[in-house]
Amino acid sequence: MLIIEVKEGESIDRALKRYKRKHRNTKVRQELMERKFFTKPSVKRRHEILDAIYRQEREEKMDQH
């Protein structure tokens, strides 16, 4: 659970902005979406491999330029 303390003299909008940033950085929302449906381990592994291939190809392109 995320706890945001509102500092003295700080507006609620500013505190809400800090909360949203902290929420996004902890990837709580992403984890909730992942838990919504069961993903087979083989499918998870396939996605990891495809992501690694994509990252490697992108890195090679950057090295060429």
Q: Domain for residue 2, yes or no?
A: no
Distance set, CA 32 to CA 1, 7, 40, 46 (Å): 13, 29, 17, 21
- What range does the domain containing 60 cover? 12-64
Which pLDDT value is given to residue 24? 85
Q: Domain for residue 16, yes or no?
A: yes
What is the mean predicted confidence (pLDDT) over 44-65?
93
Q: Domain for residue 7, yes or no?
A: no
Number of domains in the chain: 1
Q: Domain for residue 57, yes or no?
A: yes
Whether the model pTM is above 0.85? no
Does pLDDT of 1 surpass 80?
A: no
Count of beta carbons in the 10 Å neighbourhood of residue 6: 13
pLDDT tens-digit readout, 5-37: 888 999 999 999 999 888 888 888 888 888 999
Question: Residue-wise over 55-65: b if at least 16 C-beta within 10 A, else e?
Answer: eeeeeeeeeee
CA angle 35, 26, 52 (to 5 degrees): 70
